[in-house]
A and B are shown apart, each in its own frame.
Chain A
């Protein structure tokens, strides 16, 4: 029993794609750029002529399911296939999913994709049925990251590293206007 969340020291990202490959290999995600549980969004703001480039040092944002506490996907699913597991992770009853894609339309973060192999909509579940299920305490993306910019842990445990980092540093969440209350945090 935990309440898992993730915080990103997002400015450290160099877009090396290690997290994306690690996620695919760990969780058996199909090849193909469109199949992904997580991705890096390039907010490249390099404008101007070559000799006078205006660089924005923050180029890359880690994107994946934001683990909303008020999850629009859950409410949108006509089959009630989406539930929250004992660790606070938004999960899917695979047998109840019949690909209405209502969850995909409802998600403000574009976190879901169609998993054609299993005929479901899939998204990041913090390696819940792989690493966490065998008692590991890291996700594939977190442990492989050269920048170690992903803090993963129990938000309910005040002693966890993620709780401490969220206490000591400023952060923001994505698209607060949707009032989804994400459990993913971006550290300033």
Chain B
């Protein structure tokens, strides 16, 4: 390891890439290690290369992980490990990883840091934080904190939300799937789970399940004999494999859904018994849809799918035994997204495909006991403001774009002075990167906990290196509803370099911060002053719950053992340690063919459960707020562009997980950079050929990206694969390869859930 010391740094001025944690870009790239011919330990673990958390076994030889293999015990991942799961080894041994705590010595974003000890890093954070919270008179919400998708999020919230006392938590929901979750929750009273395997007829709008794998959905689709219908403005692999592919204009799926509802009502195709028993406001829905005349002819004019085809699909869907309109995942596309997802839920409900095989099931998830902690109450901590102007919104993860805008405009009721950012590359993951940069520049303190020197890490004052998923044990997690199971991420190897688990980082931070921050509260918090007067300082501190490291008096291993053994017994705990998984029918698990298994016996699956719920066709809260109570089309949703303008849509390659895998050498072999998909006839008109560089310009900014003219994308639509155009020079495999979609995607958001609408940016292009 070649560490450039701070003094040498000045000598190297002019070179921006002065990174003390990059060993050397001149050393040979990481190569794969052939496994040996000997038997060795295999540790069960849970993958973290995407959101799925598939189960695997890690082969360890002489302390080195040489291979990751699928774990056949886990119902969710169906004994498979995908390309990214296999390439997890390269994430662990990535030479660019964050290795030591770092403190910024240059300007934000220029990558100049000095190596620090953990204590120096904590001390730096303490100094700043005490000043900030003192200045803000103990309004703890001046510290915003965020965490992307993944394990440990709830614990992170306990630390910064419950213990530190901030109301401002943000996560990926408002740039991912909150419209879908909210639409399901508000329409049928539960977010549910889609039973893909049990469905004999499935319609998918836009979701690309064969290039954005979701377990078990993607695997079940491969093996299912169901009829698959795919709507997409892009002929994806999922579309290619579908029985019917219906090309359409972006943002017009709602018109298709409305027409399906119209036809079902008009021709009385719906499940009358189900509707009678479960629907609220069915008559209202019926009269609305019929009154608006969402005929197949009308939908044809909006979507470009023929009226005849819409009728055929609708009739087939409602005639099927177990039809499913797949609700998708990353659902935030357009202004109409919430009502689009509601329309999908309503179609399932009209077919009776709720709480039964092949539909949206409620199932029976295994409920894990909560680890109770003592939560202090802060008198002066104010509430969150990012849901102001949002009808529903997620009380948990809020609305990123609304939050950022209010911070930038200074229209928030109080200033945000500090941010703690974990596993959330906010400089890449949301529209309008310039705004995120500006927001971070306004902070007095930015702390990043991550494994990689991402674009976001480069904006931090303090970088705390977290260890990767194979270097730590995480708390046990409950998975799925139809075939519920518990799974445990066991530790495979010791953390490399000086990296630590989040739990150990929060323990260190908690020990450092608890007393100084308590002292700030004691200065401003009258209730606390009262209890200090009554009980004395020590008792007020302990009984008030001000010990921020409370959860970390025990190791994760000890906590898991206690929690699991107490709730489920020793056998379950042993299964989780030895096999990584537990579910009640493990002993009966049987191979169906070629290492593909049946997990729960069919009669034991929770297809239908006792649950009282109503289908809410109309939402009066929306009506009162001035929005549509029911799914409705508006002229502004029409896809209507001048022939020289283009609509940008985004997505990803099968080998990438947003920007998280950007530096993975193995995955880079498949896509070194991203290519702009443009309709072949459009490309001809602009004289663009494959590999030509194209400028794509929106109202925000422009990017340069290489073109891939293809007949697989609709005219006037451009597809930009996400996760490229990384700006951090410390990500040596990813830096400046391809272009970042969020440079040009405009930061619009819908007002029902405050979700970014990613597919509403129009651009112009020019060949260079």
Contacts and interface: CB of A to CB of B under 8 A. Distances in A.
Given A53-B712, A148-B596, A25 B245 contact: no
Interface in B567-597: 593-596
Contacts of B239: 55
Interface string A6-27: 0000001011111011101111
Contacts of A131: 35
B241 interface: yes
A50 to B, nearest CB: 5
Given A16-B213, A46-B712, 9 more contacts: A14-B211, A14-B237, A18-B80, A32-B669, A130-B35, A134-B36, A134-B39, A145-B80, A147-B219
B593 A148 contact: yes
Given A16-B210, A46-B711, A133-B37, A25 B87 contact: yes
A1 interface: no
Chain A interface, >50% SS class? loop
B438 to A, nearest CB: 38
A47 B712 CA distance: 9
Contacts of A31: 29-32, 665-666, 669
Interface stretch (B63-71, B378-386, B756-764): B63-71
Interface in A113-134: 117, 129-131, 133-134
A146 B222 contact: yes
A29 B666 CA distance: 11
A156 interface: no
B640 interface: no
A26 to B, nearest CB: 5
A135 B681 CA distance: 55
B636 interface: no
B83 A130 contact: no
A26 B29 contact: no
Contacts of A146: 78, 80, 82, 213, 218-219, 222
A32 B28 CA distance: 13
Contacts of B36: 130, 134
Contacts of B245: 53, 55
22 contacts: A17-B655, A21-B666, A25-B66, A25-B89, A28-B32, A28-B33, A31-B32, A33-B669, A48-B711, A49-B711, A53-B712, A55-B235, A55-B245, A57-B240, A59-B237, A129-B37, A131-B35, A143-B595, A145-B80, A146-B80, A147-B223, A148-B79
A151 interface: yes
A132 B247 CA distance: 46
A30 B32 CA distance: 6
B679 interface: yes
Closest 3 CB pairs of A and B: A28-B34, A133-B37, A21-B86
B714 A148 contact: no
A170 B210 CA distance: 26
B266 interface: no
A135 B39 contact: yes
B398 interface: no
A52 B219 CA distance: 29
Interface string A68-95: 0000000000000000000000000000
B85 interface: yes
Interface string B681-719: 100000000000000000000000000000111110000
A50 B32 CA distance: 41
A140 interface: yes
Contact of B80 (A26, A140, A144): A144
Contacts of A161: 593-594
Interface in B254-287: none
B681 to A, nearest CB: 7
B255 to A, nearest CB: 16
Contact of B67 (A14, A20, A26, A50): A26
A138 B245 CA distance: 36
A12 B223 CA distance: 8
B379 to A, nearest CB: 53
B539 interface: no
Contact of B240 (A46, A48, A151): A46
B69 A143 contact: yes
Given A16-B213, A57-B241, A24 B711 contact: no
Contacts of A49: 681, 711
A18 B681 contact: no
Interface in B230-262: 235, 237, 239-241, 245, 247
A146 to B, nearest CB: 4
A183 to B, nearest CB: 17
B225 to A, nearest CB: 12
A161 to B, nearest CB: 6
A29 B711 contact: no
Contact of A14 (B34, B38, B39, B222): B222
B348 to A, nearest CB: 25
Nearest to B245: A55
A117 B681 CA distance: 45
B496 interface: no
Given A16-B82, A21-B666, A28-B32, A134 B235 contact: no
Contacts of B213: 16, 146
Nearest to B59: A26
B654 A16 contact: yes
A129 B712 CA distance: 42
B107 to A, nearest CB: 35
Contacts of A15: 237, 654
B35 A26 contact: yes
B304 interface: yes
Contacts of B460: none
A148 B595 contact: yes
Contacts of B540: none
Nearest to B305: A51
A130 B34 contact: yes
Interface string B580-617: 00000000000001111000000000000000000000
Nearest to B83: A17
A68 B89 CA distance: 33
Contacts of A17: 83, 654-655, 670
Contacts of B593: 148, 161
Contacts of A50: 235, 247, 679-680, 711-715
B34 A148 contact: no
Contacts of B407: none
B240 A59 contact: yes
Contacts of A16: 82-83, 210-211, 213, 654
